[in-house]
Amino acid sequence: MSVPIARRGYAHPEVLVSTEWVAAHMNDPRVRLIESNEDPLLYASGHIPGAVEVDWVRDLNHPVVRDYLDRPAFEALMARIGVTPDTTLVFYGDKHNWWATYAFWVFQLFGHTNAKIMDGGRLKWVREGRALTRDIPTYAPTTYRAPERDDRRIRAFRDDVLAHVRAGRRLVDVRSPAEFRGERLHMPDYPNEGALRGGHIPGAVNIPWSRAVNPDDGTFLDAAALRAIYEGEAGLKPDDDLIVYCRIGERSSHTWFVLTYLLGYPRVRNYDGSWTEWGNLVGVPIEKP
């Protein structure tokens, strides 16, 4: 049985909620549950009653340019799922909330900070035998006004990364060890594709994203265990200026969430271009043991 969230020593425990909390707030009009998965079939096969789906490809990405949706598209998305700036959003999904934290991160680009993650994600909810439904909820459309997307505070671009490397600042590569070593260009059990070159960005330390969760139920490790990994093993410091990356920025959003909210690091940016971009750039430095 996992330790209650409030007793795990997190810097911001309020950003996590338990499955029990979600079960008690499914019908709360001030709360909107959002399911975001890698597997596009999961939501249709059954989801938490009242939860809406936010698909990472269809809803969060620009349909032509490799970029995220712009402000008008974000406002339209929020209006469609019936939320206002005061609505508490609770994200959850498959892969130990890997895609839920990705959606959470994108929403932060538009300033919707009233957001949380359901600890343990979809896997924990299902294993506990909690209610699922195939009914698609409908909510009255709202009028939502968002600020312009903030691409500087928590997002890094290739020129930022290059400057980071030249200045000798810290980077965290959250991919698998085989990807980090350049033996693979994608995750294990996935097609080997995505970049022309393998390896990692010089100076990066490899801390696979999945090390931050308990493998049995997908809940996050407590703060002491997380510090043992990120600070004890990897030598990171809370005041480091950090950039995290993976292949397209989805796994690294999970680590960004851990470092920013659970450990309270104030300067962490996610490089969503990640290895798909870096491994295809002409002339950038790459390390390959």
Active site amino acids: 246
Q: How far apart are CA 145 and CA 76, in angstroms?
A: 9
Helix, strand, coil fractions of the chain, as percent rounded to 5:
35, 15, 50
CB-CB contact of 15 with 9 (8 Å): no
How big is the chain by its Cα radius of gyration, in Å? Answer: 19
Rama region for 261: left / alpha / beta (φ>0; ψ in -120 to 50; rest):
alpha
β-strand partners of 123: none
Q: What is the side-by-side strand order in the sheet with 155-156?
A: 155-156, 268-271, 242-245, 171-173, 204-206
